[in-house]
Amino acid sequence: MVGLGEGRAPARGWTLAWLADPGRFQLVFTALYVIDVGVRVTFGSWFGLVCGPGFALMSVPLLLVVGLAVPWDRLAPRMALVLPVADIAIIGVSRLAPEGGNGLLAVFPALWLGRQWGRFGAVVAGAATVLFLVVPGAIYTDGDAVLLVRTLFIALVVLVTALVIADGMDQVRVQAGTIEHQRRVSQAIFDTVDVGLLLLDRDGQYVGMNRRHQEFMALGYPDGHAGRAGQLGYVFDEDGRTPMLREQMPAYRATAGEEFDDLRMWIGADPASRRALSVSARVVRSDSGAFAGAALGYTDVTDFMRALRVKDEFIALVSHELRTPLTSIVGYVQILEEDGAVPAHAVDQLRVVHRNAERLRRLIGDLLDTAQRDGSPMPINRSSADLSAIVVESVEAARPVADSAGVELVLSATDELRLSLDAQRIAQVVDNLLSNAIKYTEPGGHVTVQLGSDERWVDLQVADTGIGIDPDDCLRLFTRFFRTEDAARRAVAGAGLGLSITKDIVESHGGRITVESEVGRGSVFRVRLPR
């Protein structure tokens, strides 16, 4: 398991970091020194061993052994100061002969001092140069002004170089400190939120996750996770039973560059402790716009999913229990209506009972439809049927309601239109659209039904001059239990189920339904079915 931002080693700065070790520093210094001496000797500047350069050359290997052998990490950090200071001293000693050492070599230990100890290191480098190069140089050159100025110049270069690197390193340290601080703040924030967060790189490797997500991972992968998207575990579909395939896993899909919201799944093997999650994914892009990884959020929706299930079971049960007595009420009311012995005023009242009982029956049917399917596609029974006849029948059935609502109902008739469809379900579509159009149109308005077709499509259009629908509401119109505020305020009867069922029926026939509407002017619902 990884914390946020802990996935990879930093790519830059490895050279300087490699040199931070005193042994390695001494190795590089020795190499530079030997190269310098080699070049001098090659080009004729010979010196004996019993002189400054000779002592210096013999000291270099000794110092290398010290540099490599001493366990610097176990000593006080400042002990390592000995090495660069000794190196500067060696350079000073090597210059105690005309053929002696190269003063500029002191820049290297000075750089190292500046890098390791900042300004303090730079001051040490400057002081060591003055002590070991300038002072002996002044004595040795016996007041030669040019040589003295040259040595002073070397000391100046050494000091400035060490200061510059010290300053640079200070800035790097401040920046690194800020970045580290920001990382900790982000980690604290991510751990505080109740949503599981996961970061992936472009290969699907996990680069970070918060504590909440670690809990989800422990449920889904009790035997551990390799930290790469697509690993199979106790992860199930929305139904809670079907194990998810690799290609369906949210992290795998996000690695393929997909973005999504509210992908539902269950995680965990034990029914008592498993959780339902709603997952969202967003792609992370590099400066050039290339896919660089993905961020995923896992929200725990267990309570919501369980409540949904209980609600659907409850609706199914209640609807079923209500349907049976209602059927006998409608049957007996019908018998009474047709009974000649019932007085005329009672027959009028019986018709009201009949109409309302039918409305209840439709509502219960809608509730049952919605609850029983639980999001699965609407089953349909196709057979050859005349769509024109279905529409005419629906319009005629709706006419008495339209008349009593003072709404004019117009049908532009068409010839026979044979299609393979579920006649009962398609009649339900026409009934729903017609009943809505009449319900939401003021007296004096019109409802027009049109049926048209070409070689590929059949179009049914139900237009009204009613209250209309707000554009924002149009987007949610086909979701379960949605009703516009306007409809609720006008106390028009309805449960907000008709259009969602209508949409399901149309889509299960391979068609689609659209709406165009303007508040105060009316709405047009269009159903397009393939021939």
For ligand ADP, the binding residues (CB under 6 A) are 432, 436-437, 440, 464, 466-467, 469, 477, 482-484, 487, 494-500, 523
Pairing type for strands 408-412 and 446-453 reads parallel
Judged by beta carbon, residue 407 or residue 467, the one nearer ligand ADP is: 467
Judged by beta carbon, residue 155 or residue 462, the one nearer ligand ADP is: 462
> In b/e form, how buried is each residue of 144-178, taking b as 16+ CB within 10 angstroms?
eeeebeebbebbebbbebbbebbeebeeeeeeeee
Min dist CB 438 to ligand ADP, Å, is: 9
- Between the CA atoms of 321, 327, 332 and 334, what dihedral angle is there, to the nearest 10 degrees? 150
Judged by beta carbon, residue 225 or residue 362, the one nearer ligand ADP is: 362
Judged by beta carbon, residue 57 or residue 463, the one nearer ligand ADP is: 463
Min dist CB 472 to ligand ADP, Å, is: 12
User: What span, in angstroms and rounded, lies between the C-alpha atoms of 524 and 468?
Assistant: 9
Q: Coil, helix or strand for 268? A: coil
Judged by beta carbon, residue 63 or residue 497, the one nearer ligand ADP is: 497
Identity of the amino acid at 435: S
Judged by beta carbon, residue 210 or residue 432, the one nearer ligand ADP is: 432
Q: Please list the helix, strand and coil fractions of the chain in percent, rounded to the nearest 5, in that order.
A: 55, 15, 25
Min dist CB 389 to ligand ADP, Å, is: 24
Q: Are 346 and 476 contacting, i.e. CB atoms less than 8 angstroms apart? A: no
Number of H helices, E strands in the chain: 16, 13
Min dist CB 515 to ligand ADP, Å, is: 8
Contacts of 411 (CB under 8 A, 6+ apart): 391, 392, 395, 448, 449, 450
> Among 263, 261, 277, which residue's Cα sits nearest to residue 217?
277
User: What span, in angstroms and rounded, lies between the C-alpha atoms of 66 and 215?
Assistant: 51
Min dist CB 479 to ligand ADP, Å, is: 9
Tell the residue number behind the tokens 């924002």, with chain if given. 472
Judged by beta carbon, residue 133 or residue 513, the one nearer ligand ADP is: 513
Judged by beta carbon, residue 423 or residue 487, the one nearer ligand ADP is: 487
Min dist CB 487 to ligand ADP, Å, is: 3
Min dist CB 318 to ligand ADP, Å, is: 18
Q: Which residue is closest to ligand ADP by CB?
A: 494
**How many CB atoms lie under 10 A from the CB of residue 93?**
22
> Among 394, 3, 372, which residue's Cα sits nearest to residue 210?
3
Tell the residue number behind the tokens 């009242």, with chain if given. 349
Min dist CB 500 to ligand ADP, Å, is: 6
